[in-house]
Amino acid sequence: MTSDFETQLRAVSLRVTRPRLAVLAALHDHPHVDTDRVIALVRADHPTVSHQAIYDVLRALTDAGLVRRIQPAGATARYERRVGDNHHHLVCRSCGAIVDVDCATGEAPCLDAPGDHGYVVDEAEVVYWGTCPACATARISQ
Ligand SMILES: [Zn+2]
Ligand SMILES: [Zn+2]
């Protein structure tokens, strides 16, 4: 797995560093986590990596397109490794759990705007808000 991450870093001309590999590994195992959780995951295995280094890595990986940053309204920014497929997200209003949903049509921008006002639309970001199964069950049993 690590060698995959090395290949991906080299493909976008980023130097292979331990913090970058650690962040990619953390996001591979834990999609849709916020910065604090990434820091906790990375530092569990690499206690010497600083918070600032992890912030910098997240920015570099996002800028390079290896990591996608999503930010549902009212939530902290989350990061994920699944990039480039225009997938969308289900978000639980109650607990904030996030699940991937495939693109509704298979390719960006997914939805046609009823009026584009002359804009060239390349992306429609869809967030499906609702209640996750765990929260729905908890509600019924209350
Ligand atoms: Zn929930
Ligand atoms: Zn996702």
Binding-site annotation, residues: 92, 95, 107, 132, 135
1 falls in which pLDDT band (50, 70, 90)?
low
* pLDDT one-digit tens code per residue, 18-35: 999 999 999 999 999 999
Binding-site annotation, residues for Zn(2+): 92, 95, 132, 135
Give the environment of ion ligand 2: residues with CB less than 5 A. 80, 100
* pLDDT one-digit tens code per residue, 103-133: 877 777 877 778 888 998 888 888 999 999 9
The order of strands in the sheet holding 98-101 is 98-101, 88-92, 127-130
Residue 106 is predicted with a pLDDT of 73
Domains in the chain: ranges and CATH = 2-70 (1.10.10.10), 84-140 (3.30.1490.190)
* pLDDT one-digit tens code per residue, 54-95: 999 999 999 999 999 999 888 899 999 999 888 999 999 999
Whole-model pTM?
0.86
Spatial separation of the C-alpha atoms in residues 82 and 53, rounded to whole Å:
22
For residue 3, the Cα-to-chain-centroid distance in whole angstroms is 21
